[in-house]
Amino acid sequence: MKNLRKFNEALLGKWLWRFGMEKEAFWRKVIMAKYGIMEGGWMSNIPNGPHGDDVWCSEEPLKLAYPALYRIAYVKEAVVADCVHFRGDFVHWESIWKAKVPPRVAFFSWTAALGKILTADNLRCCGIILVSWCYMCKADGESVDHLFLHCPYAKELWDMILALFGIYWVMPKRVLDLFICLQGSLGSHQHFVVWKAIPHCLMWCLWRERNVRVFKGCEISVVELKLQFYRSLMDWMSAIRLDRFSNMLEFLDYCSF
């Protein structure tokens, strides 16, 4: 009689091998669309145990296999999913999901950090042909990173915010890196809650304005966009009762150094 366990493992191994080899197969595309794909292939489970105690990267728990590394871990009780690391993409998902912003906005930011929102370059990858310019600056090609970080419109908003908070930095290349940079910028400062909400609000406002331009054919000026940004941010902060702001000036005063 066959050893069913080994037989099953062999079959699963065959499917994993086919997943790596049959790049154009329809079944592979269905799995990729439904579950996503990461560097190196398909991962069926999100690792979610404590990263020091669970067996997930070698034959034994990290704290036994690499005691020196575990000693210098910043948050020892962090779970594996909090610090997934694939070829340099260190993702602090917590900095996205725990920001005090509406859930639909956090979900949007998460999708943007993964580079999966429907910008022109992503639509082109799906075979949908659109104009290749950015709807905001009408110059460079539209990509997630251009739209939210490097477009002159985005830059105007970022410069305004960095000046308000008195922070100097070099804009990261990708949206993914943005959430990592922001994590350590203000530490435990009293404005940390506002600061964490800022990238969400900025990207949300830019995306809304971009969609109005695409689907309704009208646009607002960058000054109006800045006001819209502050209005949204103030509303979100008032909603969590961070403070009671009777007007915009009071809110700006609270944020500034």
Stretch that binds Zn ion, among 36-44, 78-86, 151-159, 219-227 (CB under 5 A): 151-159
Q: Using CA atoms, how far apart are residues 244 and 251, in angstroms rounded to an integer?
A: 9
Q: Rounded to an integer, what distance in angstroms lies between the CA atom of residue 181 and that of residue 113?
A: 13
Decide: is 136 part of the binding site for Zn ion (CB under 5 A).
Answer: yes
Q: Does residue number 91 form part of the binding site for Zn ion (CB under 5 A)?
A: no
- Say if CB 175 and CB 148 are below 8 A apart: yes
Which segment (115-123, 143-151, 156-164, 166-174) binds Zn ion by CB under 5 A? 143-151
> According to CB under 5 A, which one of 79, 137, 214, 242 is a site residue for Zn ion?
137
Nearest to 159 by CA among 247, 108, 226, 224: 226
Report if residue 149 touches Zn ion, rule: CB under 5 A.
Answer: no
Question: What is the rounded distance in angstroms from the CA atom of residue 212 to the CA atom of residue 128?
Answer: 19
Binding segment (CB under 5 A) for Zn ion, from list 26-34, 112-120, 129-137, 183-191 = 129-137
Instruction: Give CA separation, 113 vs 75, 95, 96, 119, in Å.
Output: 23, 11, 9, 13
Q: How far is the CB of 153 from Zn ion (least distance, A)?
A: 6
Neighbours of 190 (CB within 10 A): 9
Of 80, 113, 151, 198, which one interacts with Zn ion (CB under 5 A)?
151
List 80, 99, 134, 234, residue binding Zn ion (CB under 5 A): 134
Whether the Cβ atoms of residue 163 and residue 232 lie closer than 8 Å to each other: no
Which of residues 153 and 251 has its CB atom nearest to Zn ion in the complex?
153
What's the min distance (Å) between Cβ of 158 and Zn ion?
13
The residue (of 80 and 151) whose beta carbon lies closer to Zn ion is 151
Spell out where 93-169 has E strands.
none
Place of tokens 């477009």: 151
State which residue, 89 or 156, has the beta carbon closest to Zn ion. 156
How many Å apart are CA 136 and CA 152, to the nearest integer?
A: 8
Using CB under 5 A as the binding rule, whether residue 237 contacts Zn ion is answered as no
For Zn ion, give the closer residue by CB, 62 or 151: 151
Read off the tokens for 189: 């400062």
Query: In the complex, which residues of this chain contact Zn ion (CB under 5 A)?
Result: 134, 136-137, 151
